[in-house]
Structures are given as structure tokens and as C-alpha cells.
Amino acid sequence: MKVAFAKTHDAAVGATAVAVRTGRLLTPAGAALDAVLGGAVTRAMEVGRFEGKRDSTLTLLAPAGLDKARIVLVGVGDAKPGDALAAEAFGGTAVAQMLSSGERRLTLLADLSEDEALFAAHAALGARLRAWRFDKYLTREKKDEKPALDRIQVTCTHPVSAKTTYQSLEKVAEGVLFTRALVAEPANVIHPESFAERVAALSALGVEVEVLGEKQMKKLGMGALLGVGQGSARESKLVVMRWQGATDPEAAPLALIGKGVTFDSGGISIKPAQGMEDMKWDMAGAAAVAGAMMALAGRKARANVVGVVGLVENMPSGTAQRPGDVVTSMSGQTIEVINTDAEGRLVLADALHYTKERFKPSAMIDLATLTGAIIVTLGNEYGGLFTGDDALADKITAAGKAVGEPVWRLPLGEAYDKMLKSDIADMKNVGGREAGSITAAQFLKRFVGDTPWAHLDIAGMVWSKKDAPVTPKGATAFGVRLLDRLVADGFEAS
């Protein structure tokens, strides 16, 4: 989809979206359009009881006096100047109204805030994110059911400034869409090898990509990760992505680690059949890390960042790991596998230790669809945040809030740690039904040493069953924008 910025728009071409504040307050451009239409916009709001509530819409079809198909009014509520999320919701909501309309062009009147350029750029970002659609396998869709929209024009007082701001945001959008596509693909298409192949494409952006196979991981002693994948016909992989953007190439990097279980059957502790198809997205943490690396490299972030993703399939077979098996992790710590469906933590155990030892990072953040318990705790509203580092927690929370990817901090503690005690090994891989997300985090904590570390359990956030202003239902790419913003605000040189 093409995105362009202009100072004025041709009121006679295509559809137009108008931002409306609470109380039916039109922007200057919206008021001018209303005047051209003889007050038709104002009358429509009164008749339709449209007050400008956030994300509400009202469409005027074939308004008299203009050669246009429609005008869509989009409520932005009490949006304040510089409210990037309101701008994104405006752009995304407007696009959602147009996708099945047959319109090919949409103009966003983005003269809402004092910082129009910022609002316009983020409106364009919202439009780009909401317009994404995973339709590659829809072979019999009728032409009139397919979206026709292929051009967005955003108008504001300072279009050059808006375009400059958008150029960086567009790179982040590309990372988001890359992740969504990875997560949306079925498991027969995305498996450890093909995931690694797609990530290898990041080398075109300057990312150093290295792929470790099972022989290399066996030499390194990654018994925890390899144990998960031993029941699959697919070879497990560990992919390392390095972006060296800091002035000092030797500066310790920020490390991002992702769980990449490309399909999770539960292994011998097999999952119920109902809903198992969703387990194609058990690699969403790894996909978010890959998308974040794409975004950082695309916008040339001034930071050293390394991304490490452990890629496995968890399948039942004659070679699969059994409940009761004991594996030795790369760190030398032994793990009694009580439940083979608690596999993500085994993958991350070796990935975390490997990253810590090889790269000596300034901090490590892992992302994983780790536990169903986090959905019971937080639903689909927040990702779970676990860390003993208050400063890192504050940075992550602020970054998530700024981009609309919120996280909620949950506790860690010695009492939870004791729940992992094993009679025959250094630890069990599960701690019982109580505090399942916390004991999973406590398990991971044993592999990070003294490195500042945070764990994000994003199981409830990576797949949406309904549309949202900037995210169509399906893969959300939760975590990509959070990580990009975290780097920009907390780790990037000014």
C-alpha cells in the first residue's frame, strides 16, 4: 500500500476520513469540508447521535455536492496533542471502514493536534498496520470481497516533516508485518529450517545472521533445547542475529531471546485436540525478536543488539522425550522433565545461557508464549513481566505503554523457587498448578546469572480473535514495537 503526505487534498477524489473529538468537534479541515457540503457533516452527526467517542465511526455515502463515494467520521475522543496512539487508531479505524468498500484511495485529514506532523505520521502508521491481511491461501475469494484500497494520502500543515517521521515508523511497521506473517503461517510451512531461512533475509539490512544446527548445539551441550525437538523429524535450530549500530562496536549489546516452538503438540504429554491448531503460533516470541531486529536494522538504530531464537518442533514419536527423563542443560544444571508440554522453558534455558556466555550482554529480555496460566491471570489485556531489576522493569513498562503493548509486572521470590525442587535432579521443569507463570519465570532465572534480565510471557497477546483499531484479527506481532521503543528510549545513543 502506498502512503503519501500532502498539504491539501483533492476533495473530489476518493474517500475521506475526518477526525472528530468528543463533543462533535471537527478539525479545521473537517470544518472546511462540512462547509463545502452545506453542513451535511454536522447534520449527520446530530441525526446519527455521533459524539466523537474514541474508535466510533459514522459514514456518509455519496454526499451531495462532491464526486465522492463516502466520507467516514472517526472519533478520537479527548486526544491530546502528541497522542500517537490516538493518531494510529484514527488511521487504522478509517482503513478498516474502507477495506471492503471497493474504494481504492483514502485521504486522512490529520490536522488534529498542535503537532500535526507527528499525528499525521502515526495516522499513516495505523493505516499501514490495519491494512495488513494474510490471504495467501484464499484461492477462491470473489473479486468484490477483496480489498481494493491501495493508496493512503495523509494531509497536514507540514507534510515534509510528517514524511520524515513516517520513514522511521515505516521500518517498524515492516518488522511488525514480517512477524505477523511468520506467526500466521501454518506449521507445515514454518518449521525450524524455514523460519531460519526467512530470518536469513535480514542480512540484506546489515544484520549478521548465524544458524546453528543440532551437531553444533550438541557440541555446546544444549541438552535441554535438543531434548524438546528430539521427537520431531525436523532438525532443531538456533539462530543468532547481530545488529551493530552503536558507535563503539565493542559496547555490550542488549540481548533479545525468543522461544520458537514452531508447533507444540505437547509431546508425550499431548495437548487436547480442541484448539491444538493454534499451537502454530507457539513461536511468536521468536518471531517478535526477528521482527524487532528487522525494525532496528531498517531504521539504523544506534545500538548494539543481538537476537537469539531457539527453534524446535515438540512432537510425540518413538524418539520423543518422556516424562521423567533427565536432561543436562548447557549450563551444566540438570532438569527432571515432569511434563513435556512445559517445553518452552527448556528451549529458553539453553538460549539464555548461550547468550549470556557468548555475548556478555548489558541486559537480556526473553519473549515467550510460555504459559496458559498467564492468560488466566491477565487475560488478553497485558503481557506478563517478570524481573528483579526495577530500572529494567520501568523501561519495559514505559515502552509498552507508549506503543499500546502493555505489560503487567508480577512477582518473583524464593518461595516460588522452592516449588521446582526435584528429588533426582537440580530442578523440575514444572512446579505444580499454583503460580504456574511465576514458577516458569523462576525456572528461567536459574540460567541468567548476574546479567540484568526480564521475561515477558506473551501467551495471551500474540493472537487476537477480533479486530482492533490497528490490528486485524489473527497474528498481532505483540512485542515488536515494544522492543523497538525500548531500544530507542533506553539503549540507543542520542
CATH number where 262 lies: 3.40.630.10
Query: Average pLDDT for residues 435-459, to the nearest whole number?
Result: 98
Cell reading at 279: 499451537
User: Are residue 117 and residue 202 in the same domain, yes or no?
Assistant: no
User: Are residue 339 and residue 452 in the same domain, yes or no?
Assistant: yes
User: Are residue 463 and residue 385 in the same domain, yes or no?
Assistant: yes
Residue 67's pLDDT band (boundaries 50, 70, 90)? low
| Boundary-marking domain end, from 128, 158, 188 | 158
User: Are residue 189 and residue 153 in the same domain, yes or no?
Assistant: no
Q: Which of 38, 28, 253, 262 is nearest to 157 (CA)?
A: 28
| Boundary-marking domain end, from 124, 158, 192 | 158
Q: Which CATH number is 32's domain given?
A: 3.40.220.10
219 lies in a domain?
yes
Query: Average pLDDT for residues 2-26, to the nearest whole number?
Result: 86
Integer Cα distance of 177 and 289 in angstroms: 13
176 lies in a domain?
yes
pLDDT > 80? residue 350: yes
User: Are residue 124 and residue 204 in the same domain, yes or no?
Assistant: no
Percent of the chain with pLDDT over 90: 89
Q: Which of 314, 291, 315 is nearest to 480 (CA)?
A: 291
Integer Cα distance of 58 and 127 in angstroms: 17
Tens of pLDDT, residue by residue over 478-492, are 999 999 999 999 999
CB 361 within 8 A of CB 380: no
Residue 214's pLDDT band (boundaries 50, 70, 90)? very high
pLDDT > 80? residue 11: no
Residue 118's pLDDT band (boundaries 50, 70, 90)? very high
Percent of the chain with pLDDT over 70: 98
pLDDT value at position 235?
98
Greatest Cα pair distance in the chain: 81
How far is C-alpha 373 from the geometric centre of its chain's CA atoms?
20
pLDDT value at position 12?
52
User: Are residue 58 and residue 92 in the same domain, yes or no?
Assistant: yes
pLDDT value at position 26?
95
Residue 83's pLDDT band (boundaries 50, 70, 90)? very high
User: Are residue 114 and residue 209 in the same domain, yes or no?
Assistant: no
pLDDT value at position 10?
62
| Boundary-marking domain end, from 110, 126, 158 | 158
Structural domain containing residue 141: 2-158
Up-side HSE of residue 244: CA atoms within 13 Å toward CB? 9
pTM beyond 0.95: yes
Integer Cα distance of 240 and 210 in angstroms: 5
Cβ neighbors of 128 (< 8 A, separation 6 or more) are 1, 3, 91, 152, 170, 173
Count Cβ neighbours within 10 Å for each residue of 445-475 and write b for 16 or more, e otherwise.
bbbbeebbbbbbbbbbbbbbeeebbbbbebb
Integer Cα distance of 33 and 63 in angstroms: 11
How far is CA 35 from each of CA 14, 52, 79, 223, 352, rounded to the nearest angstrom?
A: 19, 19, 24, 71, 61
Residue 68's pLDDT band (boundaries 50, 70, 90)? low
pLDDT value at position 224?
98
What is the average pLDDT score of the chain? 95
DSSP notation for 155-212: E-S-HHHHHHHHHHHHHHHHHHHHHHHHHHS-TTTSSHHHHHHHHHGGGGGT-EEEEE
User: Are residue 75 and residue 178 in the same domain, yes or no?
Assistant: no
User: Are residue 202 and residue 115 in the same domain, yes or no?
Assistant: no
Tens of pLDDT, residue by residue over 218-246, are 999 999 999 999 999 999 999 999 999 99
215 lies in a domain?
yes
Q: Which of 365, 404, 403, 367 is nearest to 387 (CA)?
A: 365
Q: Which of 266, 259, 354 is nearest to 312 (CA)?
A: 259
Residue 42's pLDDT band (boundaries 50, 70, 90)? very high
CB 261 within 8 A of CB 344: yes
> Annotated active-site positions, please?
271, 345
166 lies in a domain?
no
Integer Cα distance of 157 and 160 in angstroms: 9
User: Are residue 27 and residue 133 in the same domain, yes or no?
Assistant: yes
Tens of pLDDT, residue by residue over 281-337, are 999 999 999 999 999 999 999 999 999 999 999 999 999 999 999 999 999 999 999
User: Are residue 360 and residue 253 in the same domain, yes or no?
Assistant: yes
164 lies in a domain?
no
Q: Which of 130-144, 150-164, 380-394 has the highest mean pLDDT?
A: 380-394
End-to-end CA distance of the chain: 32
pLDDT > 90? residue 468: yes
As for how many domains the chain has, the answer is: 2
Integer Cα distance of 13 and 28 in angstroms: 19
User: Are residue 99 and residue 225 in the same domain, yes or no?
Assistant: no
pLDDT value at position 418?
95
